[in-house]
Amino acid sequence: MKYKHNYQIGLEDVDIKGNATNRALMTMMEDIGGLHSDSVGYGLDSVEQTGQAWVVLDWKIEIVRRPHYRDEITAYTWSRNHNIACAYRDFEYAKKACDLGAFAYLLKPIEDEKLQATMTDVGKICEDQIRNEEKYDRWERLLKKDGDGFLQVVVQKYVQNRLPEEKVDEVFHTLQDVMKEGDRFITVYADLDLAYKITNELEYEASRFSMVRMIEEKIAERFTYWKFESEEGHRTFIVKTQENTAVHELKELLEEVKKEENSPVIAAISKPYKGIRGIRRSFEEAQRLFAVTNASGAGVFTIPETVEEKEESPYPAEAEMMVVNSVRKNDAVQLKQAFVHFIYQLPHREELQCQYMHKIMVKTEFMLKDSYGMDESLNQQFENYYSNMRNLKAAKAVDVCYKILGTAIEKRLENAEKKENKGSKEYIAAAVAYIDEHLDNEDLSIVSVATHVYLNPVYFGRVFKNTFHMTFKQYLLQRRMELAKRLLEDGRTSIGNICEQVGISNPSYFSHLFKEYTGQLPRDYKREYEV
């Protein structure tokens, strides 16, 4: 319960320099405390009638800037705790006092140890209440300043099982108007078909960038939503709505993007679910469906009733990395071991087996092209596989994939010193991958990236700007700051380690850049997203 009163700094309130004195400020605090007490019936005039009054227990003053002569200021005061500790000889009186809100009762004669223990407990409760009130005030301030950003982090941590439901419920309850009766949540998973990168590597990164931007713009026109990137790297939108037609509208929206961008948008849309638990249900449903959608190339569609009940095995990401790394190191023996390990972890459904094999082939090809390049014959083998993969049974797909990866090792061993210099725009994808992999390198520059992709730095800079509509320096800063934001929001990494991960070793310079980018210092940004 807050109370406010306006004051004007007069001549009697200032020192020779025109600044408000400590005595004047304390007098104002005393005055507003008395006014607040009077306004709710606990002032000095009411003591005789009620036997109760508010008292000042402590002062905590931090002066950021002293008011000046003739400044108009507003003072606020609020109550922290009205529970009391009391002592009565009669037990019935004590019991009644507790029923009315007293924390405890003490029987006379009062023992010093019991009094001290009771007051310690009272102090702890008061401190907890103060902390809760401060937390709620912080949440309210953050909501007013960046409500979407704060809730986005809360929701993201919740659906990724990093924040318990009761904590999310507490946040939503505190912020009150965030969720209304009848609100339902729909999750949209969206990305470009990975096969598109195989056939259109030149345009893949730019098309994906444009696609994500257009989806966000169209969703923002019609819905309230939260957005983030899933752990698999796919764009995720959690839409809040009360409209029965929302799923249909979202499907039409994605079809519009697919048509306007002329690119193979792959997306999954969950059914609407109510309540906080419905947020996670919609996310998990869209996540499961997207794996099926991505494998089949079915495009945009809404989950059918039958799909919801199906169980899918988790993707063997560790085994996949072992296969890719064995090819990276030209180790045929390790490839055989890693491939067998991967096969043993394939799910029972043949559809998913083929999907997993497709994923590992795409990952390996990306690694080869981004790191070493491929000769024409090896490139042709990958293309033949992609052309025929929908006609391959799982057993045949396993055999074909293993032979191609084995051939990749043989070819690279034969041509270890040979690298093909392909110029121009086709290396933008490789440049982007190189940037993301080396964000922690403080010496990363347009020269080093251009050298990696065998392009003249001036020409590379022009092609890069035409592709992303920003300079290389702006793009690099954006990637570093966005990575820093995610790490700060996550809350599990120190600011010092974040500096290392984004390639800015000087903490002061990092803080300067981060404040220019976000308007806040890193420590303040991290504190705001602590839940």
Domain edges within the chain: 1-79, 84-178, 181-308, 317-414, 424-528
At 142, which amino acid appears? L
Q: What is the DSSP letter of 19?
A: B
At 419 the pLDDT is: 40
Spatial contact of 405 and 364, defined as CB atoms under 8 Å apart: yes
Spatial contact of 113 and 67, defined as CB atoms under 8 Å apart: no
At 498 the pLDDT is: 93
By C-alpha distance, which of 249, 252, 256, 246 is closest to 214?
Answer: 256
Give the 3-state secondary structure of residue 226: strand
Give the C-alpha separation, 38 to 28, whole Å.
Answer: 15
CA 121 → CA 57, 82, 124, 509, distances in Å? 16, 15, 5, 45
Write out the chain's pLDDT in tens, 531 residues.
677 888 888 878 888 777 888 888 888 888 888 788 777 776 666 666 666 666 665 666 667 778 888 888 888 787 655 544 444 444 454 445 555 455 565 555 566 677 677 667 766 766 666 566 565 565 555 554 455 567 778 888 888 888 888 888 877 776 666 778 888 999 998 888 765 654 565 677 788 888 888 998 999 888 988 888 877 678 899 999 988 888 888 988 888 888 887 777 888 888 899 888 889 999 988 888 876 665 555 555 555 443 444 445 577 888 888 888 888 877 888 888 888 788 777 776 777 778 888 888 888 888 887 666 677 888 888 888 888 877 777 767 887 888 899 888 887 777 644 443 344 556 787 888 899 899 999 999 999 998 888 777 887 888 888 888 889 999 999 999 999 998 998 888 889 999 999 999 899 999 999 999 999 999 988 888 776
Q: What CATH number was assigned to the domain covering residues 424-528?
A: 1.10.10.60
First-last CA distance in the chain: 24
Q: What is the DSSP letter of 17?
A: T
pTM here?
0.45
Give the 3-state secondary structure of residue 109: coil
Spatial contact of 325 and 409, defined as CB atoms under 8 Å apart: no
Same fold, 181-308 and 424-528: no
Spatial contact of 158 and 168, defined as CB atoms under 8 Å apart: yes
- Helices 457-468 and 472-490: crossing angle, nearest 10°? 60
Q: What CATH number was assigned to the domain covering residues 1-79?
A: 3.10.129.10
By C-alpha distance, which of 248, 242, 247, 309 is closest to 274?
Answer: 242
Give the C-alpha separation, 286 to 270, whole Å.
Answer: 5
Say which CATH superfamily domain 181-308 falls into: Reverse transcriptase/Diguanylate cyclase domain (3.30.70.270)
Give the C-alpha separation, 214 to 219, whole Å.
Answer: 9
At 87 the pLDDT is: 46
By C-alpha distance, which of 417, 418, 414 is closest to 332?
Answer: 414
